[in-house]
Amino acid sequence: MVDNRTVEVTSILSYDEANGIVYFISNEEIPRQRHLYSLTVSNPEDKKCLTCNLWDDCGYYSAYFSKNASWYILNCRGPGAPIYSLNEAQTDNYVLLQDNEELRTLMDNTQLPVKRYQKFTVSGYDLWAEMFLPPNFDERKEYPVLFDVYAGPYSQKVNEQFRLYWTAYLTSSLDIIVASFDGRGSGYQGEKILHEIYRKLGTVEVEDQIEAGRQFQNLQYVDKNKMAIWGWSYGGFVTSHVIGRGSDVFKCGIAVAPVTDYLYYDSVYTERYMQHPQDNEKGYNDTIVMHHAENFKKAKYLLVHGTGDDNVHFQHTADLVDALTKAEVEFDLQFYTDQDHAIRSTRKHLYNKMTNFLKECFDM
């Protein structure tokens, strides 16, 4: 039986045997948050949220307990700058270890994206999206939108963790709205949503990104003719399938190190979600991006891969290049010699390449 509840205990951290108290992290308040709870085993009604009202601008916590559960290191991981403290479990006493005050001051004097959350009804579910809006956002204007996608099984893009990276530059400097959406197959929203993707990689999660894109087009501040999507690894797989569907929602796509056929990916990972190929022939066939090569003519597409990738082997990109070439699709290709899945040593070149591609896509 699949449970309809959306509250999840994401990790059980420690058990205080002397006092009969278990400590755990849960998203009970809202799926994108993580809070620390205590529960008395002899009285399950005696459950306390230890962090819900602890610090402002903190909604996503992790913790590490001592052996006897009398002390713990608490980490506020966002949405504000991270905070670390040493806490006594049986009291409210704590010692602040790091408050990142210098970073906070720097952020206060810097134009940074504004984060907004919104629910969309997709495929019968009310699902969360997050948007990073330009610092001087004006709802009367229309902005280009970049979907930042991963969408792998049990993943979560919409959360309150602190992060500043390439997409923050796109929003702050180029006035591009960067959005993420957690559709079917994503984690921390209950077993029912999670198991929608079982044996069906490359289907429902792709459909939900497209439908979310359509609903974004109806927002008054979105330029519906300037929408793009990008992702890395599984996100590149989803991006490629989205472009391959030929939906006309996304005008451009960037796929970095994408899986293009799950028959040729890590067997332990793949069979966990897809079972054995002999037991799910249709499911495996549906993962093949090359089947949709003809539809890539409807969008601009940048394909990136490191030739030394030991996770998603370069064969995935080579097979897709072959299919796109045979279909006479014009596309952009960037490979990095001997680079692995992370493409670490050529990151600057990679992000410049992707930025310039988006500028061209959005006529900037």
Catalytic residue numbers, as ranges = 233, 309, 341
Q: How far apart are CA 240 and CA 205, in angstroms?
A: 12
Q: Which amino acid does the sequence have at 147? A: F
DSSP sequence for 285-334: HHT-GGGGGGGGGGSEEEEEEETT-SSS-THHHHHHHHHHHHTT---EEE
Nearest-10 crossing angle of helices 234-244, 204-217: 70
Q: Which two tokens stand for residue 150?
A: 């991963």
* Dihedral sign of CA atoms 63, 64, 68, 71 in order: negative
Exposure letters 268-305 (e unless 16+ CB within 10 A, then b): eebeebbeeeeebeebbebbbbbebbebbebbbbbbbb
Q: How far apart are CA 233 and CA 342, in angstroms?
A: 9
Q: Which two tokens stand for residue 276?
A: 């054995």
Residue 15: how many other CB atoms lie within 10 Å: 16
Q: Which amino acid does the sequence have at 155? A: S
Q: CA geometry: angle at 75 spanning 69 and 81, to 5°? A: 170
